Amino acid sequence: MRMYDLITEKKNGRELTGEEIKWFVRGVTEGEIPDAQTAALLMAICLRGMNEREASDLTEAMLRSGEVADLSAIPGKKADKHSTGGVGDSTTPVVVAAVAACGLKVAKMSGRALGHTGGTVDKFESLPGFRSDLSPREFADVVNRVGAAVIAQTGTLCPADKKLYALRDQTGTVDNVALIASSIMSKKLASGADVIMLDVKYGSGAFIKDPEEALELARLMVRIGERAGRSVGALVTSMDAPLGRAVGNLLEMYEASDILHGNADPEKLLVCRTLAADLLFLAGMGTKEACGERIDRAIASGQAFEKLCEMIRAQGGDPAMLRDPGRRIYAPFRREVRAPEDCPGYLVRMDTERIGICAGILGEARKNPEDKVDHTAGLLIRKKTGDRVSPGDVLCELHTSDPSLLDEAERLYRSALAFGGRPARRLPILFASVGPNGSVSRF
């Protein structure tokens, strides 16, 4: 086979065979294909697309490019959830705790911050002592004893995706549905869970801006997962404004704890509850209604919060800051950003990607992989799209350990907002749900 032929075939809109895809992924993994040719094929895929069979073959080939987790030491069904990435997107601590409190085991491998989006592992590691580098034995032991564990994805999982993602990042070929679906699903399938719930984001803070395109991505990911023999469902949810009110590692862990204590941001609670209930449903633990009621009871009784603390302790962490709000620590430097004097009355748009970058500037993100993050850095959002705003109202609070970052962050935050004289319609937080065989229900 020759890369030249694969590129030409895809450029002319032809399907690639399973053998061609396998050969390409093996060549990328072994470093045998020049980056220029790989990038050319990625661009041809972006322009011509891939059908479900090709995307499944690409997923399978990337999943086989490295280690595949062996969860056989954990009896019974193992669940996982995954978000395609967002800002203020700390649903994992709530969902994991709630479903584990209902008796469904969660064995979750998570990533770190990517671009403007936060990372689950960074959020958990903001708690003192928390270890996300458990060995496979420790991981299985915590899941068996506690019912849930969240660890960092190992570097040996899907090396082909690592190489392809880096090239996509440099060549403007990230935002293609087939490439995103195979990138995410190869890692999810390699992580070994039997039941997988996906939260596919759309809007100004998501990789995919358009809800219908996000729905196409969700359906494709569900079908890829089903072809691989797993139970997979998806929700399509809005990231057109940050989810909840907190952005930043520790701030989001506090917000997750508030949700589990019943002091909830209603939209964030709705996303968490629906994801958790759908996971129980996918695992065969009752009707959607009954699963929703079980999740409500787990949260209201405090069992879900206790499960979160138990998991954090089992992974070496100290949940005291979650248990006792008096022990919460905050960044030493904070600044309120206030509405301008000529504010015409309403906040009509938030550029959520910019808000994510703003949290990164304040210290939430790494510039280089080896950088340390400022876990206290981030934002508390006081006004969201659709809210009435008077001149001088507090729009958000910026938090950081380095006061020299505040001016740039404030400038960026202001540039992310648009005001108007009439209330804007906020896009629905739940857009659609995808079930067996890619079936769609719209909310």
Nearer to ligand URA, 51 or 263 (CB): 51
Helix 249-260 to helix 91-101 angle (10° resolution) is 40
Looking at 10, 22, 116, 168, which residue is catalytic?
A: 168
Minimal distance in Å, beta carbon 159 to ligand URA?
Answer: 13
Nearer to ligand URA, 207 or 419 (CB): 207
Minimal distance in Å, beta carbon 85 to ligand URA?
Answer: 5
User: In which residue are the tokens 């759309």 written?
Assistant: 202
By CB under 6 A, the count of residues binding ligand URA is 9
Minimal distance in Å, beta carbon 406 to ligand URA?
Answer: 30
Residue type, 384: K
Please name the helix (run of DSSP H) or strand (run of DSSP E) that holds residue 346, with its range, or none: strand 346-350
Minimal distance in Å, beta carbon 299 to ligand URA?
Answer: 28
Tell me which of 61, 95, 99, 180 binds ligand URA, using CB under 6 A.
180
Residue 321 sits at φ, ψ, to 5 deg, of: -70, -20
Nearer to ligand URA, 174 or 270 (CB): 174
Residue 401 sits at φ, ψ, to 5 deg, of: -95, -5
Nearer to ligand URA, 165 or 333 (CB): 165
Minimal distance in Å, beta carbon 442 to ligand URA?
Answer: 24
Active site residue 240: no
Helix 288-300 to helix 91-101 angle (10° resolution) is 100
Strands (E), 373-437: 378-381, 394-400, 417-420, 430-434
Helix 266-282 to helix 288-300 angle (10° resolution) is 120
Minimal distance in Å, beta carbon 115 to ligand URA?
Answer: 8
Contact indicator for 88, 244 with CB cutoff of 8 Å:
yes
Residue type, 42: L
Instruction: Give the burial class of 253: count Cβ atoms within 10 A of its Cβ; 0-12 exposed, 13-18 middle, 19 or more buried.
Output: buried
Minimal distance in Å, beta carbon 262 to ligand URA?
Answer: 32
Active site residue 82: yes
Contact indicator for 326, 216 with CB cutoff of 8 Å:
no
Strand, coil or helix: what is 167? Answer: helix
User: Within its chain, how far is the Cα of 335 from the centroid?
Assistant: 28
Does 85 help bind ligand URA (rule: CB under 6 A)? Answer: yes
Q: Which residues neighbour 382 within 8 Å (Cβ) at sequence distance 6 or greater?
A: 245, 393, 394, 395, 396, 397
Comparing every residue's Cβ against ligand URA, the nearest one is 183
Nearer to ligand URA, 104 or 184 (CB): 184
Active site residue 187: yes
Identify which range of 49-57, 146-154, 177-185, 396-404 contacts ligand URA by CB under 6 A. 177-185
Nearer to ligand URA, 84 or 274 (CB): 84
Contact indicator for 113, 122 with CB cutoff of 8 Å:
yes
Does 183 help bind ligand URA (rule: CB under 6 A)? Answer: yes
Active site residue 168: yes
Looking at 187, 245, 294, 384, which residue is catalytic?
A: 187
Tell me which of 109, 184, 195, 197 binds ligand URA, using CB under 6 A.
184
Residue 111 sits at φ, ψ, to 5 deg, of: -105, 175
Does 84 help bind ligand URA (rule: CB under 6 A)? Answer: yes
Structure tokens at 401: 């350990």
C-alpha to C-alpha distance for 357 and 209, rounded to whole angstroms:
17
Active site residue 261: no
Minimal distance in Å, beta carbon 168 to ligand URA?
Answer: 7
Does 93 help bind ligand URA (rule: CB under 6 A)? Answer: no
Strand, coil or helix: what is 173? Answer: coil
Identify which range of 144-152, 178-186, 250-258, 316-324 contacts ligand URA by CB under 6 A. 178-186
194-233 residues near ligand URA, rule: CB under 6 A: 207
Does 191 help bind ligand URA (rule: CB under 6 A)? Answer: no
CB neighbours of residue 171 within 10 Å: 16
At residue 246's C-alpha, the angle toward residues 303 and 288, to 5°, is: 45
Nearer to ligand URA, 183 or 376 (CB): 183
Looking at 10, 22, 82, 354, which residue is catalytic?
A: 82
Nearer to ligand URA, 80 or 310 (CB): 80
Residues with catalytic roles: 82, 161, 168, 183, 187
Binding site for ligand URA (CB under 6 A): 84-85, 165, 174, 179-180, 183-184, 207
